[in-house]
Amino acid sequence: MISLSNVSKIYKSKLKGSQPVKAVQNIDLDVDKGEIFGIIGYSGAGKSTLIRMLNGLEAPTDGSISVAGREMSKIRGSELRKARQEISMIFQHFNLLWSRTVRENIAFPLEIAGVSREQRLNRVDELIKLVGLEGREDAYPSQLSGGQKQRVGIARALANNPKVLLCDEATSALDPQTTDSILDLLQDINERLGLTIVLITHEMHVIRKICHRVAVMEGGQVVELGKVLDVFKHPEKPITKRFVQQITEPEETKDTISHLAAEFGQGMVIQLSFAGDDAEKPVITHLIRHFDVEVNILQGKISPTQNGSYGTLFIHMLGDEAEVSRAMAYLNESKIGIEVIENA
Ligand SMILES: Nc1ncnc2c1ncn2[C@@H]1O[C@H](COP(=O)(O)OP(=O)(O)OP(=O)(O)O)[C@@H](O)[C@H]1O
Ligand SMILES: [Mg+2]
């Protein structure tokens, strides 16, 4: 559905003497039809620049971008306008028209596309149901919650039956619960309409919850790319590890673990990571039954992704040296991820 080949974007600074900014550098990327593809990176990584090139809001300095069968850098005028109806976008701050009601906001792209009044009314009703805004049709944006505003943004973006939906930090202005409800809606739309979705975010939670694949961006480049579960299992770059840690070991977890470990005084604290089918294996049971070690579970967490679950378990293990090393050898062989956090 989307194919980027060697795409770069350089902004020439208007200030005298300052260096041009390489916002995006040599990116190759393919997004399949019906996929939810996530792009994660810190501020300034080039995410917005990249996504804005997908709908022709920015032109690449180099390389080629094809979206839904169109070569974006070659089209102009009416063809570009037509392409933009097929590649729609939602934004962090919703970008709604404040003097128009919910209904009128959603109808806006239909008016531009020259859809008749009657068809518009029908389509708007359909969209209102799809995004769950029944009863709020005549409200103004200022009367809506953040989540409701984003629902209007989504309905408006879907009005002309796009093939691709681009989301630039669409949940970054929302609280965690509202974020989840909007992510559920996006997933539902993806499944029901087979819509291809590209979303950018700086939160791994968003990637974990709905994306099939993820690209990690740093300094204008894609530094890591893969299925979400695989990236969780084997993050390679330091930046990717940091993003994965947002989910597997938030700061509070680390504090709790070192606090609990300190209470034991001696023994080992080990972090086990399970992914996909490995999560089903009774590793802990085996450990307790077959080795003369004492095992205490400190904390555990399972994070479901679109390609299977990823779990982390912190345990404390105590025993004599030989038994502990036999137990460690078993863990090493069992294909789960193990990391010794403390050894006292
Ligand atoms: N119109 C512009 N003119 C000049 N430089 C720009 C322009 N737009 C972006 N940049 C620069 O390009 C780089 C990438 O910016 P971009 O907005 O794509 O990052 P981002 O990953 O979306 O960041 P954020 O998470 O803060 O939104 C930054 O260094 C930014 O300052
Ligand atoms: Mg941005």
Percentage above 90 pLDDT, the chain: 68
- The CA distance from 208 to 305, in Å, is 5
| 130 CB burial (10 A radius; 0-12, 13-18, 19+) | middle
46 lines ligand 1 (CB under 6 A): yes
Which of 2.60.40.10, 3.40.50.300, 2.30.30.40, 3.30.420.40 is the CATH number of 2-244?
A: 3.40.50.300
23 lines ligand 1 (CB under 6 A): yes
Q: How far is CA 336 from CA 95, 330, 341, in A?
A: 46, 10, 15
- The CA distance from 289 to 90, in Å, is 54
* Ligand 1 atom with least separation from CA of 202: 25
Average pLDDT over residues 267-273: 88
Instruction: Pick the residue whose CA is nearest to atom 13 on ligand 1.
Output: 23
- The CA distance from 343 to 266, in Å, is 7
Confidence band, pLDDT 50/70/90 cuts, at residue 180: very high
Q: Domain map of the chain by residue range?
A: 2-244, 249-343
109 lines ligand 1 (CB under 6 A): no
Is pTM beyond 0.85? Reply is yes
Instruction: Pick the residue whose CA is nearest to atom 22 on ligand 1.
Output: 48
Using the predicted structure, report yes or no on whether residue 88 has a pLDDT greater than 90: yes
pLDDT digits (tens, 9 = 90+) for 132-167: 999 999 999 999 999 999 999 999 999 999 999 999
Which ligand places an atom closest to the C-alpha of 50?
Answer: 1
10 lines ligand 1 (CB under 6 A): no
Superfamily of domain 249-343: ACT domain (3.30.70.260)
Q: What pLDDT score was predicted for residue 258?
A: 78
Using the predicted structure, report yes or no on whether residue 311 has a pLDDT greater than 80: yes
Q: What pLDDT score was predicted for residue 279?
A: 63
Which ligand places an atom closest to the C-alpha of 23?
Answer: 1
Instruction: Pick the residue whose CA is nearest to atom 25 on ligand 1.
Output: 43
Phi, psi for residue 277 in degrees, rounded to 5: -65, -30
